C-alpha cells in the first residue's frame, strides 16, 4: 500500500470515527425509543431524559468526591453514571405512572417531562452551581475510553478502533453499538422480546394470551429511559466533560425520528442514527468551507420526511388507504381496521 | 363514541360542574409541587412565591407629590405582550387538536411567518395601509402553507404528524437562520439580525414604554373567528366530527382527509399571527437566535383551555402572568425563573391525568387521540 492511499484511508477512518461518536448518543436514545414504541407506548420524553441523566451524572460525579472521600479516582465517574441513570429511570417512572396508572395521554405527558427536564436542570444548575449556562467551573470527570493495544503498526485500523489520537473509544460508544445486537437478539430470540412486540401489536390479544401487558409496558418504558439516560451521560461525561443547558440540542427528537426512519427495526434504527451522526459531522466539516451549516442541518429532517412519505406510498400500494387513518399510525388502530 | 349517547344529561352536567373546579385544582397542585421544589433549594421560598404570584401586577401607590400612581406598567405590559403571543399559539395548537391531530408544528409556522412578515415589511415599501395588510397576508399564507404540509403528509401518506411536525420545525428554524444570516442581515449591526422594520410596518403602540400594540384589539377578533370557524362553518363541523368520531365521519362520507389537512393548515394560519406579533410588534427586527420552543407553550395554553377557543385567551393570560411573575422572582430572590417550566410541566401532567383527577376532561383526550387506556384496565 502506498503512503498516499494510507493517508486517504486514515482520513476516511478519522471521519468514520467522528460519525460513530456523533451517532452514539442518538443511537442509544433511539434504541430506547424503539423498545418503547414496539411495546405500544412510545416514549417522546427521550430528549428530556437525556438531559436529566447528563445533568445528574455530572453533578453526582463531582459531589461523590465529597460524599465518599478516599475512593480511587476512577470510581467517581461511575458513581455519577449510576446516579444519572437512576435519575433518568426516576423520571421515566414518573411518566410511566402518570400514563399507566393515571391515564395521562402518553404523548402529552412525554412532552411535559421534556419541559420538566429543561426547566429542572437549569433551575438546579443555578441553585447548585450558581451558573445558568454550564458546569464548566466544576471540572467534572469523564467515563474511561477503551484503548485496544498493539495496533501501532496498522495506522488505518488504529485510527478506526482507537480514534485519531489513539486514545480509544469511549466506553459508551461500545455500549451503544453492542446494544443494537443485544436488542435485536432480545426482540427476536427471547420470550420477553416476543411479549414486548405482542403487547405493541395487539394489547387486547396479548392480555387474552396471559401476557402482563401493564408490566411489559412498565419495563419497556423504563428500559427506554435507561438507554436515553446512557445517551445523555455520554454527552456530558464523554463527548464533553461538562453539562450545558439544553446540551441535547434536539438529539432526543432526532432519536425519535430515527425509530420511524429505521422502520422500527434495530438495524434500521442503527442506520438512521448513523445518518443523523454523519450529517452532524458533515455540518462541522462544511463549516470550514463557508457552506452554510443550516443547509446541512436541514438534511436529516428532510430525509426523515421523505422516508415517511416513501413508507406511506408503499402502504397505499398495498391496498390500504392511508387517508383513512386518523389516529397515530404507531398505535394499533382498531376503528380503522374494523371499518376499512 | 357510544359513551356520549349512554351518558344522561344529568351526569354530563354533574361532570361539567366538577370540571370547573378541577382545572384550578390542577393549577394549584402544580404550584404546590413547584413550591416544594423551590423550598428544597431556596432560603426564602415564601418570598420567592410571593414574587411569582404577585410580581406581574402593576403597583398602585399613593404619594403626596403625585397622587395616585400606577407603577410597573412595563412588567404588566410584558404580561399582555406574552398573552397575545400565547393566545395565537394556543389557537394554533387547539384547532388541530379538535380534529385529533397532534400537530406540534406551531413553532416552525411561527418562525416562517415572522420571517415572511419581516421580509414584506422590509422590502415592500409604502404607507402603513399597504405594508401592514401585505405583511399580514404574507404571514398568514406562510403559516397556512407550512401547516398544510404535515396535513397533506398525514392524509395522503399516513405519515405520523408528530414526527413530521417536529422535523418541519427543525427545517423551518434552520431556514429562518439561513435567510437571516445570508440574505436579510443588517451589516451595520454587531450581531446577526435583520434591519429594524420601517415605522410604517410596525403596529401602533398602546402603552408607553411597552410593546403592547394594536395587536391587542385583533385578539378578540381572531378568537371569535376561531370559535365561529369551529362552530358555524362546514369545515369546522367536519374538523370536530373527525375529532370526536372518526369512524362515524368516514361512514357518512365526510371528507376525512380534507378535515385533517385543513385543521393543521388553519392551525398554521393562527400561528402566523403569533409570528407577526413577534416580528412587527415585539422585536421590530428579527435576531438569528430567536429561541424555539414557544410552540410547546401554546400546547399548555391549549390544554388549559381544553381546546376551546373562547377559553384560550384566559389560559394564555394566566400563563403569561406566571411567566412574568417568574422573571420578577428571579430578579428579587435566589430562585431562577425556570421553576415556572416545572410548574408548567406539572400543570400538563395533572390536566391530562384522567384517573388522577377522575372527571377532569374525561374520555375527551382518550377519544381525541384514539388512545383508550389500553388493555391494562
Closest partner CB to B158 (pick from A300, A325, A331):
A325
Q: Which of A123, A250, A309 sits opposite B153 (nearest CB)?
A: A309
Cβ of A103 within 8 Å of Cβ of B177? The answer is no
Average pLDDT over residues A221-248: 92
Q: In the predicted model, is pLDDT for residue A338 greater than 50?
A: no
Predicted local confidence at residue B279, as pLDDT: 93
Quick one: pLDDT at residue B65? 74
Q: Distances from the Cα of B6 to the Cαs of B2, B10, B63, B123, B359, in angstroms?
A: 6, 11, 63, 59, 16
Of residues A102, A107, A339, nearest to B353 (C-beta) = A102
Q: Cβ of B373 and A253 within 8 Å?
A: no
Q: List the 254-283 stretch of A: residues with Cβ below 8 A of B.
A: 256-257, 260
Contact A302 B257 (CB under 8 A): no
Distance from CA of A308 to the nearest CA of B (A): 6
Nearest Cβ partner for A100 among B182, B349, B376: B376
* Separation of alpha carbons B78 and B339, rounded Å: 19
B68 burial level (CB within 10 Å; 0-12, 13-18, 19+): exposed
Chain A residues close to B244, C-beta within 8 Å: none
Q: Give the pLDDT score at B376.
A: 40
Residue with cell 398505535: A331
Residues of B in contact with A113 (CB under 8 A): 345
Q: Where are the beta strands (DSSP E) in chain B?
A: 59-63, 67-71
Q: Are the beta carbons of B346 and A112 separated by less than 8 Å?
A: yes
Task: Please tell me the predicted confidence (pLDDT) of residue A117.
Answer: 95
Measured distance CA(B251)–CA(B226) in Å, rounded: 27
pLDDT (mean) for A161-189: 87
Phi, psi of B182 (to 5 degrees): -95, -35
Long-range CB pairs of A244-248, under 8 A, 24+ apart, other chains included: A244/A133, A244/A134, A244/A135, A245/A121, A245/A122, A245/A125, A245/A132, A245/A133, A245/A134, A246/A51, A246/A118, A247/A51, A247/A54, A247/A134, A248/A25, A248/A47, A248/A50, A248/A51, A248/A54
B317 closest CA partner among B223, B214, B203: B223
Q: Which of residues 299-318 of A touch B (CB under 8 A)?
A: 300-302, 304-305, 308-309, 311-313, 315-316
Nearest CA in chain A to B260: A326
Q: Is A250 on the interface with B (CB under 8 A)?
A: yes
- For CA atoms A147, A149, A152, A154, the dihedral sign is negative
Residue B30: which of A90, A52, A116 has the closest Cα?
Answer: A116
| Residue found by looking up cell 413508507 in the block | A311
Question: What is the distance between the alpha carbons of residues B341 and A242, in angstroms, rounded to a whole number?
Answer: 23
Nearest CA in chain B to A97: B353
A116 closest CB neighbour out of B171, B345, B369: B345
Closest residue in chain A to residue B349, using alpha carbons only:
A109
Q: Which residues of B touch A207 (CB under 8 A)?
A: 375-376
Q: Is the pTM of this model over 0.80?
A: yes
Which residues of chain B have a pLDDT value below 50?
A: 1-7, 359-361, 365-377
Question: Given CB atoms, is A221 within the 8 Å cutoff of chain B?
Answer: no
Which structural domains are found in chain B, ordered by start? 76-325 (1.10.3470)
Alpha carbon dihedral A92, B106, A323, B307, in 10-degree steps, equals 80
pLDDT above 50 for A333: no
Name the residue among A123, A250, A253 with its Cβ closest to that of B342.
Answer: A123
Q: If you measure CA to CA, which chain A residue comes closest to B154?
A: A323
Q: Please answer yes or no on whether A298 and B174 come within 8 Å at the CB atom.
A: yes
Which has the higher per-residue pLDDT, A309 or B369?
A: A309
Please judge whether A327 and B171 are an interchain contact, meaning their C-beta atoms are less than 8 angstroms apart. no
Read off φ and ψ for residue A12, nearest 5 degrees.
-60, -45
Segment holding B137, helix H or strand E: helix B128-157
Partners of A217 on chain B (C-beta within 8 Å) are 376
**Under a CB-based contact definition with an 8 Å cutoff, are residues A6 and A156 in contact?**
yes
The number of beta carbons lying within 10 Å of the beta carbon of residue B148 is 17
CA nearest to A40, candidates A214, A256, A228, A257: A214
Determine if residue A41 is left, alpha or beta; phi over 0 gives left, psi from -120 to 50 gives alpha, anything else beta. beta
Of A136-150, A236-250, B16-30, the poorest mean pLDDT is in B16-30
Q: How many CA atoms lie within 13 A of A116 on its CB side?
A: 27
Q: How far is A304 from A300, CA to CA, in rounded Å? A: 6
Q: What distance lies between CA A78 and its chain's CA centroid?
A: 19
Q: Which residues contact A184 (CB under 8 A, 6 or more apart)?
A: A266, A267
User: Residue A44: which residues within 8 A CB-CB, separation 6 or more?
Assistant: A106, A107, A110, A111, A114, A256, B162
Provide CB contacts within 8 A for A239, sequence distance 6+: A21, A24, A25, A170
Nearest in space to A52 (alpha carbons), one of A78, A21, A85, A93: A85
Place of cell 406581574: B56
What three-state secondary structure class fits B60? Answer: strand
Supply the ipTM of this predicted assembly: 0.84
pLDDT at A1: 55
* Segment 320-339 of chain A within 8 Å of chain B by CB: 322-331, 333, 335, 338-339
Greatest alpha-carbon pair distance for chain A in Å reads 68
pLDDT tens digits for range A99-129: 998 888 888 899 899 999 999 999 999 888 8
Give tens-digit pLDDT for B62-81: 777 777 766 667 788 889 99
Strands B59-63 and B67-71, how do they pair?
A: antiparallel
Q: Which secondary-structure segment (H or E) carries A169?
A: strand A169-170
For testing contact with chain B, the best of A39, A99, A103 (most B CBs within 10 A): A103
Chain A, chain B: beta-carbon pairs less than 8 Å apart:
219
How far is the C-alpha of A218 from the C-alpha of B343, rounded, in Å? 25
Higher pLDDT, A103 or A270: A270
Percent of chain A at pLDDT exceeding 90: 42
Distance from C-alpha of A46 to C-alpha of A88, rounded to nearest angstrom: 10
A116 to B341: CB separation less than 8 angstroms, yes or no: yes
A295 touches chain B (CB under 8 A): yes
| Distance from C-alpha of A256 to C-alpha of A43, rounded to nearest angstrom | 8
Cβ contact A123–B346 (<8 Å): no
Q: A164: helix, coil or strand?
A: coil
d(CA A70, CA A80): 16
Q: Which residue has the cell 427476536?
A: A188
Q: Which residue has the cell 468514520?
A: A16
Amino acid at each position: 500500500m502506498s503512503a498516499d492511499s494510507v493517508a486517504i484511508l486514515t482520513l476516511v477512518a478519522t471521519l468514520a470515527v467522528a460519525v460513530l461518536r456523533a451517532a452514539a448518543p442518538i443511537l442509544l436514545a433511539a434504541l430506547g425509543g424503539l423498545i418503547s414504541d414496539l411495546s405500544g407506548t412510545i416514549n417522546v420524553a427521550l430528549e428530556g431524559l437525556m438531559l436529566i441523566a447528563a445533568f445528574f451524572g455530572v453533578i453526582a460525579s463531582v459531589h461523590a468526591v465529597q460524599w465518599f472521600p478516599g475512593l480511587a479516582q476512577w470510581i467517581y465517574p461511575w458513581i455519577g453514571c449510576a446516579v444519572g441513570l437512576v435519575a433518568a429511570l426516576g423520571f421515566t417512572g414518573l411518566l410511566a405512572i402518570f400514563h399507566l396508572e393515571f391515564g395521562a395521554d402518553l404523548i402529552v405527558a412525554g412532552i411535559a417531562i421534556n419541559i420538566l427536564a429543561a426547566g429542572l436542570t437549569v433551575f438546579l444548575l443555578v441553585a447548585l452551581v450558581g451558573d445558568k449556562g454550564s458546569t464548566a467551573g466544576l471540572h467534572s470527570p469523564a467515563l474511561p475510553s477503551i484503548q485496544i493495544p498493539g495496533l501501532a503498526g496498522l495506522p488505518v485500523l488504529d485510527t478506526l478502533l482507537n480514534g485519531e489520537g489513539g486514545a480509544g473509544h469511549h466506553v459508551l460508544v461500545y455500549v451503544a453499538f453492542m446494544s443494537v445486537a443485544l436488542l435485536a437478539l432480545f426482540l427476536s430470540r427471547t420470550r420477553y422480546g416476543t411479549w414486548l412486540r405482542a403487547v405493541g401489536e395487539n394489547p387486547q390479544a396479548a392480555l387474552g394470551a396471559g401476557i402482563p401487558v401493564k408490566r411489559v409496558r412498565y419495563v419497556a418504558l423504563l428500559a427506554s429511559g435507561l438507554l436515553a439516560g446512557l445517551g445523555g451521560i455520554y454527552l456530558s461525561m464523554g463527548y464533553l466533560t461538562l453539562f450545558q443547558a439544553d446540551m441535547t440540542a434536539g438529539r432526543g427528537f432526532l432519536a425519535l425520528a430515527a425509530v420511524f426512519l429505521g422502520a422500527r427495526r434495530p438495524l434500521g434504527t442503527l442506520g438512521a442514527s448513523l445518518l443523523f451522526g454523519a450529517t452532524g459531522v458533515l455540518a462541522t466539516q462544511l463549516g470550514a468551507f463557508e457552506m452554510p451549516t443550516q443547509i446541512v442541518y436541514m438534511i436529516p429532517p428532510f430525509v426523515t420526511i421523505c422516508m415517511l412519505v416513501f413508507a406511506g406510498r408503499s402502504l397505499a400500494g398495498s391496498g390500504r388507504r392511508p387517508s383513512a387513518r386518523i389516529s397515530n399510525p404507531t398505535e394499533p388502530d382498531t376503528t380503522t381496521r374494523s371499518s376499512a | 363514541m357510544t359513551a356520549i349517547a349512554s351518558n344522561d344529561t344529568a351526569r354530563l352536567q354533574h361532570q361539567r360542574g366538577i370540571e370547573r373546579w378541577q382545572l384550578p385544582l390542577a393549577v394549584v397542585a402544580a404550584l404546590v409541587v413547584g413550591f416544594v421544589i423551590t423550598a428544597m433549594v431556596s432560603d426564602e421560598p415564601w418570598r420567592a412565591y410571593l414574587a411569582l404570584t404577585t410580581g406581574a401586577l402593576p403597583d398602585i401607590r399613593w404619594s403626596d407629590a403625585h397622587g395616585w400612581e400606577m407603577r410597573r406598567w412595563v412588567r404588566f405590559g410584558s404580561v399582555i405582550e406574552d398573552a397575545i403571543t400565547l393566545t395565537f399559539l394556543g389557537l394554533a395548537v387547539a384547532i388541530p387538536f379538535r380534529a385529533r391531530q397532534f400537530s406540534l408544528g406551531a413553532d416552525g409556522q411561527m418562525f416562517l411567518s415572522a420571517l415572511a412578515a419581516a421580509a414584506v415589511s422590509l422590502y415592500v415599501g409604502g404607507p402603513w395601509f399597504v405594508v401592514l395588510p401585505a405583511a399580514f397576508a404574507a404571514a398568514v399564507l406562510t403559516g397556512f402553507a407550512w401547516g398544510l404540509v404535515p396535513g397533506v403528509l398525514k392524509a395522503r401518506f399516513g405519515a405520523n404528524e408528530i414526527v413530521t411536525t417536529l422535523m418541519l420545525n427543525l427545517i423551518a428554524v434552520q431556514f429562518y437562520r439561513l435567510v437571516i444570516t445570508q440574505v436579510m442581515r443588517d451589516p451595520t449591526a454587531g450581531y446577526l439580525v435583520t434591519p429594524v422594520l420601517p415605522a410604517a410596518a410596525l403596529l401602533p403602540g398602546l402603552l408607553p414604554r411597552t410593546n403592547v400594540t394594536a395587536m391587542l384589539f385583533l385578539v378578540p377578533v381572531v378568537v371569535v373567528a376561531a370559535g365561529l370557524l369551529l362552530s358555524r362553518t362546514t369545515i369546522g363541523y367536519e374538523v370536530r366530527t373527525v375529532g370526536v368520531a372518526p369512524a362515524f365521519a368516514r361512514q357518512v362520507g365526510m371528507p376525512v382527509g380534507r378535515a385533517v389537512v385543513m385543521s393543521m393548515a388553519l392551525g398554521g394560519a393562527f400561528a402566523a399571527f403569533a409570528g407577526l406579533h413577534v416580528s412587527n410588534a415585539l422585536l421590530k427586527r428579527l435576531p438569528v437566535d430567536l429561541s424555539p420552543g414557544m410552540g410547546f407553550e401554546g400546547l399548555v395554553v391549549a390544554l388549559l383551555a381544553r381546546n376551546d377557543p373562547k377559553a384560550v385567551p384566559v389560559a394564555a393570560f394566566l400563563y403569561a402572568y406566571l411567566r412574568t411573575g417568574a422573571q420578577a422572582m428571579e430578579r428579587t430572590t435566589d430562585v431562577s425563573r425556570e421553576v415556572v417550566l416545572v410548574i408548567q410541566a406539572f400543570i400538563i401532567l395533572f390536566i391530562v391525568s384522567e384517573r388522577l383527577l377522575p372527571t377532569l376532561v374525561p374520555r375527551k383526550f382518550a377519544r381525541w387521540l384514539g388512545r383508550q387506556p389500553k388493555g391494562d384496565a
